[in-house]
Structure 1
Amino acid sequence: MQLVRGLHNLRPQHRGCVATIGNFDGVHRGHQAILMRLRERAAELSLPSCVVIFEPQPREFFTPDTAPPRLARLRDKLELFAAEGVDRVLCLAFNPRLRELSAEAFVRQVLIDGLGVRHLEVGDDFRFGCDRAGDFAFLQRAGAAAGFTVEAATTIEVDGRRVSSTRVREALADGDFPQAQRLLGRHYVIDGRVLHGQKLARQLGWPTANVQLKRVRAPFSGVYLVSAYVDGRKWPGVANIGTRPSVDGDGRAHLEVHLLNFAGDLYGKRMRVAFHHKLRNERRFASLDELKAAIAADVAAAQVYWLGAPLQ
């Protein structure tokens, strides 16, 4: 899969494609349906498929303090796109210049002059351009004039409701990981490199891997039963994700994972953490002794859970 960063990096060989546009946060089952249709139309027209995304996501640009926490970083999205068979991703920097682009200019510069789109798959509620003036009807008219077709993506429902990134966040925040799995079509995972931390958990007798999040906020917080993938091997474990209120910190979200019966050096390795069950909320403890006792209870619960139920 090819990644193109910005319109200025588009070349003549990039013209002529079947495209879709959106945030694709989490690449859930609704997104997967769009990408499946994108592949089908690309095959019918013998053209490459292209996904157009934005960094940061528009709401992160307009209201960074209240934008919803991300389900997936850019790296995660690219890996998921590749797994879905996408040929090319155009990542546009969402900045003041792009924000001021009219709907007409966006279609001309991005879709026509930039990508030479022959077919476009978008949701029927898709809005774009300055002040969100462009919509599905506008794209249909623009496509008819410029020679590309436009099709509305099929809505995917679970339990009679549309699958959305918002629903996934709600399920994760509620600790309803079976529901999140149904909406995503897979376990929710966080992937990151293991970094050096304060090593407080090691001092308390329960060494943890400090997994790099690369995000200010996480979509949920608390203590969870997890399975972690390191060097192609799966390990059962327990994890805390949150701001660590019992430890003086920077206010950012952190992910710390204790692997059961693991001995070895994890620093610098990539760890993929899948979440299965919530044990408790994150809380502030009055002393390190209380924190140590709580961690011991969490690890004991994880040992009982994983010994009684094999990893799926």
Structure 2
Amino acid sequence: MKASPRIYRSLPRYDTQRPSAVTIGNFDGVHRGHQAILARLRASALERELAATVMTFEPHPRAYFARRGQRPELIPTQISSLRDKIQALRLHQASQLVLERFNQALADMSAEDFIERLLVRGLNTRWLLVGEDFRYGHKRSGDVDLLRRAGKQYGFDVETIADIADEHGHRISSSEVRTALAVGNLERAEHLLGHSYRISGHVVHGQKLGRTIGYPTLNVRVPLQCAARSGVYVVRAHGLAAAPIQGIASLGVRPTISHGGRLMLEVHLLDCHLDAYGKLTSIEFLEYLRDEEKFPDLPTMIAAIDNDVQSARDYFAFHGL
């Protein structure tokens, strides 16, 4: 069992002066490109006896500026929830995680203050890994050259990492993952992520309509800006029993029975009845079946669900669990 990272929501750290190896980024999805960065961070931290540290921002800076400018259409969609991001960083052995609040004060901070307050005083940084085009500070005025000069002054080394490409030479990025998920291309998303796409969450109470029509569902909240395309998927539910459970899921706002509802993931487990309220589950997306639809009435909707469930059974019959 890998140890959970120590999480800091403000700097400087309140409990240690331990020197750090640091990388900075949003790490949405923790895809194969991120995984290469984390492997380099881990190796350098080990070699230099430093704390492997990831600094990330909540909310995403682009989301902050889009909201501030009242341009909600510019808010990037979210591949993973904060819980899933922390879990992935734990798996890749980050020992410290800084969740830096992105607000007006941080947006206004000069590049020099960013280095001195967050990296030097905040984390006692001794080694830093960033992308070649990394920008920071007020109006993105700081660059890698300034970091290198500061490193000489404060005693930390700066290493840059180029974009990570896959075996076909295509760049691996969060934007690419978002694009794949937006069109329901789970195979492409899995290629970029290095694993099948998942969303985790606690099972919450829904409207209980599913049980009255013979299809009880587990309701799982997802990020409001969830990157996955709304629609119906073949899924597996993890964490509710000793083995994964086959299922079918609808991601959307339930247009047939609800008006202006929030985005919800509704999962019907095949041939399985269990009380899962309050439990944490991870839903693995296996195949995209169809778009979310608004049906004229309940019988039409039930017929469509019958068809979806048969499609899921066919999928598992062919692929196995």
TM range (shorter): over 0.9
Partner in structure 2 of residue 173 of structure 1 = 182
Q: 2:247 aligned to 218, 237, 246, which one?
A: 237
Cα distance in 2 for partners of 1:261, 1:216 equals 30
Task: Report the count of equivalent residues.
Answer: 309
In the other structure, the counterpart of 2:304 is: 294
Cα deviation for residue 12 of structure 1 reads: 6.2
Structure 2 residue aligned with 1:51, among 47, 51, 54? 54
Q: What are the superposed Cα offsets for residues 85-119 of structure 1, whole Å, 9 maximum, x if unpaired?
A: 11111111111111110111100100111111001
Equivalents in 2 of 1:180, 1:150: separation in Å? 31
C-alpha separation between the residues in 2 aligned to 1:259 and 1:20? Answer: 40
- Residue from 207, 213, 222 that aligns with 2:231: 222
* 2:262 corresponding residue in structure 1: 252
Residues 14 and 261 of structure 1: is their aligned pair in 2 closer, same or farther, counting only changes over 3 Å? farther
User: Match of 1:79?
Assistant: 87
Q: Does the CA contact (< 8 Å) of 2:252 and 2:263 recur in 1?
A: yes
Taking the aligned partners of 1:39 and 1:249, their CA distance within structure 2 comes to 48
Moved more, 171-180 or 108-117: 171-180
* Contact kept? 2:19, 2:125, Cα under 8 Å: yes
Matches within 5 A, 1:274-289: 274-289=284-299
* Counterpart position of 2:36: 33
Q: Report the equivalent of 2:16.
A: 13
Is structure 2 residue 109 aligned with structure 1 residue 106?
A: no
Partners of 1:267 and 1:14 lie apart in 2 by 42
Q: Which amino acid aligns with 1:43?
A: L
In structure 2, distance between residues paired with 1:77 and 1:210? 21
Q: Distance in 2 between matches of 1:195 and 1:91?
A: 26
Q: CA deviation at 1:258?
A: 0.7
Contact 1:33 1:154 in 2 (8 A): no
Where structure 2 has 5 or more consecutive residues not aligned to the other structure, the ranges are none
Shift of 1:15: 3.9
Q: Distance in 1 between matches of 2:162 and 2:47?
A: 18
Q: Are 1:269 and 2:279 matched, yes or no?
A: yes
The alignment partner of 1:7 has SS state of coil
Q: For 2:187 and 2:145, locate their aligned partners in 1 and report how far apart those are by CA, in whole Å.
A: 37
Asked whether the 8 Å contact 1:226–1:237 carries over to 2, the reply is yes
Contact 1:34 / 1:154 at 8 angstroms: preserved in 2?
no
State which drifts further: 138-147 or 265-274: 138-147
Instruction: Write the letter of the residue equivalent to 2:294.
Output: R
Aligned residues with identical type, % of pairs: 43
- In the alignment, which residue of structure 1 is the partner of 2:192? 183
Distance 1:175 1:186 in 2: 15
| Offset of residue 11 of structure 1 | 3.0
Paired residue for 2:26? 23
Structure 1 unaligned regions, length at least 5: none
Q: 2: CA distance between counterparts of 1:140 and 1:63? A: 31
Supply the distance in 1 between the matched residues of 2:159 and 2:185 (Cα, whole angstroms): 34
1:61 maps onto 2:69 in alignment: no
In structure 2, what is the Cα distance between the partners aligned to 1:54 and 1:232? 35
Q: Distance in 2 between matches of 1:135 and 1:296?
A: 56
The question of 1:143 aligning with 2:162 is answered no
Q: Cα distance 1:232–1:125, how it changes in 2: closer, same or farther (>3 A)?
A: farther
**What displacement does 1:145 show?**
2.2
SS of the aligned residue for 1:223 comes to strand
Q: What secondary structure, in the 3-state scheme, does the structure 1 residue paired with 2:127 have? A: strand
**Quick one: distance in 2 between partners of 1:155 and 1:216?**
29
For 1:93, the equivalent position in structure 2 comes to 101
What is the aligned-residue RMSD (CA, Å)?
Answer: 1.3
- The one-letter amino acid paired with 2:245 is W
CA distance in 2, matches of 1:94, 1:23: 11
- The runs of 4+ residues in structure 1 deviating greater than 3 Å are none
Q: Residue 17 of structure 2 contacts residue 123 of structure 2 at CA under 8 Å; is this kept in 1?
A: yes
